[in-house]
Chains A and B, each alone.
Chain A
């Protein structure tokens, strides 16, 4: 067998098959969102293409549903949960990784293990706690509960990052008379900026994508997040609104896709770094 043929069989074709498998659902989302209803529910035309694209579904989604408030809610909750988690994680990771105080080793392992507790174990008792705190159906319920999976992840990621920074730089600053907080503020955190950025992206996308807690703790239509709102309010009995639904799935994915595309190199590096730890 000659080389190009071998390459086609062992590399190009399998890779193409993978890409079709992994990307087709996105294509299907897009085509459905742009297809007029008369094509959408017609078995005789080729479903993979439309010659008469329309923005009707997008218009319906934006003006006849609560999609825009859902987007705003999701954004507020994601930003709040990310800020809270990042602040707590940055302090904790610095302390565990750099101060080596009594108990820091055990603490690091404990925080890592909490990352493995899946939300399905927690959502029932958490619903009790949320209602006891008077946070039922309020965005604050999610801002306070999302850190349970964001903090362990961010601490783990930042710990790995702090470990790669040379200690000598901090020691030099200390010798030159900088206080501990000045060292953190002007030396360590700026050097750890790539790691902090990775945490930001991860925390934001994980919050944006969360479903179970948002489904359980929020109940009124205009309080919902995008993942929950689309799946509960637009899937209405027998009348499926596939056009607006797919338009919503597409638009709802845009913020995380954008955050990710800006930092794709970072993302992969951070993930692989975190796995190597």
Chain B
């Protein structure tokens, strides 16, 4: 009994010591975020800075290289293939994001109502976005086959073409084919995001507006759209960044061909750095994604700020 009573304060003191660490919000907080910070620091922040550094060096595989200033960038600006890749990226991202937005919005408006089979439709329409892009890219590679394309078969059956089409052999046709495949994959993302936005609009607003004599267009313009802007901005910015940074679809279907006509920053960087061994030059190509990233985030920030 005595011993027990004597030991109690000591246990309490030890508990208090451990407890005070647990109760110190700052110490506990930083301890708990430490694992996440370590992973992001070592494999995201550090490589990010290393990448920027590499773009200023003539580094090769198995050769650290030395600082060469803006040499890589000067070379790239004069490089026809790189200049084409810049144009391709603008075209690819510009056209694909607009198409994904328009089609995704249309799909969201279509399924934002009660109908039989709604659950099935909403589940099925997300599939292109769920499955591995590299695997669906293989299907598009097969759909665009120069000899046995099912697309050509259908176009022939309805009388639109009378010979086989070499989708990936012609520069503009190849660009259009890749944009179509990218749109296919991205429409569900826009649809589900915008659908979520549509569902946050209070139904009473529509009823009140209808009573005041507002037609469908007026209701859309003055109720739906203003409330949808924040979600639309987030979805569009996210998709723009991902489309500009696309790699796998292009690499699997065309490898940047024909004659470098479909290279984006990602595929060109891979070709120069991994296949060619010019790490510095490849890193410089990849760094060009940064301005796009910063511009997107800044635009989104301004748009969302204005809304508030």
Chain A interface residues toward B at CB < 8 A? 11, 14-15, 18-19, 21-23, 25-26, 28-29, 32, 40-41, 43, 47-48, 84-85, 87-89, 91-92, 94-96, 99-104, 107, 111, 113-114, 116-129, 144-145, 147-148, 151-152, 155, 179-181, 205, 208-209, 211-212, 215-216, 226-228, 230-231, 235, 240, 242, 245-246, 248-249, 252-253, 256-257, 260-261, 264, 267-268, 271-272, 275-276
Contacts and interface: CB of A to CB of B under 8 A. Distances in A.
B127 A23 contact: yes
Given A92-B32, A249-B138, A121 B110 contact: no
Contacts of A119: 245, 247
Contacts of A124: 51, 54, 269, 273-274, 279, 282-283, 286
Contacts of A102: 25-26, 29
A268 B193 contact: no
Interface residues of B, number: 96
Contacts of A32: 142
Contacts of A227: 132-135, 248
Contact of A151 (B40, B50, B199, B282): B40
Contacts of A126: 43, 47
B25 A101 contact: yes
A8 to B, nearest CB: 13
B148 interface: yes
Contacts of A99: 25, 28-29, 32
Nearest to B138: A249
A135 B265 CA distance: 26
A96 B131 contact: no
A48 B197 CA distance: 38
B231 A275 contact: yes
Nearest to B25: A101
Contact of B28 (A18, A101, A117, A155): A101
B139 interface: yes
B282 A271 contact: no
Given A25-B143, A101-B29, A15 B44 contact: no
A243 to B, nearest CB: 10
Nearest to B136: A25
Contacts of A180: 22-23, 28
Max chain A C-beta neighbours (<10 A), residue from B36, B147, B274? B36
A208 to B, nearest CB: 7
Contacts of B136: 25, 249
B66 to A, nearest CB: 15
A47 B157 CA distance: 11
Interface in B233-256: 234-235, 238, 241-242, 244-245, 247-248, 251-252
A19 B282 CA distance: 40
B75 interface: no
Nearest to B264: A120
Contact of A242 (B51, B122, B142): B142
Given A28-B150, A257-B130, A264 B43 contact: no
Given A113-B297, A212-B248, A230 B138 contact: yes
Interface stretch (B1-9, B203-211, B287-295): B287-295
